[in-house]
Structure 1
Amino acid sequence: MAKQLDYHSLREVFTRFQDAEPEPRGELEHVNAFTLVVAVALSAQATDAGVNKATRSLFKIADTPEKMLALGEEGLVEHIRTIGLYRNKAKNVMKLSRILVEDYDGEVPNSRAALQSLPGVGRKTANVVLNMWWHYPAQAVDTHIFRVGNRTGICPGKDVIATERAIEDNVPVDFQQHAHHWLILHGRYTCVARKPKCPACLIRDLCQFEEKTL
Structure 2
Amino acid sequence: MTRDEIFEFFRRLAELNPAPETELLFGNAYQLVVAVALSAQATDVGVNKATRALFRKVQTPQQMLDLGEEGLREHIKTIGLFNTKAKNVIALSQLLVDEFGGEVPSTREELVRLPGVGRKTANVVLNCWFGQETFAVDTHIFRVGNRTGLAKGKTPDQVEAKLEKRVPAPFRMGAHHWLILHGRYVCKARTPECWRCPVVDLCSFKAKVLEPKGTSSSRT
Q: Same fold (TM over 0.5)?
A: yes
What CA distance in whole angstroms lies between the structure 1 residues aligned with 2:164 and 2:79?
32
Amino acid across the alignment from 1:201 = C
TM-score (norm 2): 0.94
What CA distance in whole angstroms lies between the structure 2 residues aligned with 1:80 and 1:151?
33
Find out whether 1:36 has 2:41 as its counterpart.
Answer: no
Amino acid across the alignment from 2:188 = V
What CA distance in whole angstroms lies between the structure 1 residues aligned with 2:89 and 2:53?
16
- Provide the aligned length of Structure 1 versus Structure 2: 210
Specify which of 78, 81, 91 is matched with residue 85 of structure 1.
Answer: 81
Query: 4+ runs of 1 displaced by more than 6 Å?
Result: none
Percent identity reads: 58
Partner of 1:24: 20
SS of 1:145's partner is: helix
What CA distance in whole angstroms lies between the structure 2 residues aligned with 1:128 and 1:75?
26
SS of 2:209's partner is: coil
How large is the Cα RMSD of the aligned pairs? 0.6
Give per-residue Cα distances to partners, 1:173-200, cap 9 Å, x unaligned: 1101000000000000100011110110
Partner of 2:11: 15
SS of 2:200's partner is: coil
What CA distance in whole angstroms lies between the structure 2 residues aligned with 1:178 and 1:156?
19
What CA distance in whole angstroms lies between the structure 2 residues aligned with 1:128 and 1:177?
11
Which structure has more relative contact order (CA 8 Å, sep 6+)? It is 1
SS of 1:72's partner is: helix
Shift of 1:157: 1.2
Partner of 1:94: 90
TM-score (norm 1): 0.97
What CA distance in whole angstroms lies between the structure 2 residues aligned with 1:88 and 1:78?
13
Find out whether 1:147 has 2:159 as its counterpart.
Answer: no
What CA distance in whole angstroms lies between the structure 2 residues aligned with 1:50 and 1:142?
17
* Structure 1 portions without partners, runs of 5+: none
Amino acid across the alignment from 1:150 = N
* Structure 2 portions without partners, runs of 5+: 211-220
* Larger Rg over CA atoms: 2
Find out whether 1:53 has 2:15 as its counterpart.
Answer: no
Find out whether 1:73 has 2:69 as its counterpart.
Answer: yes
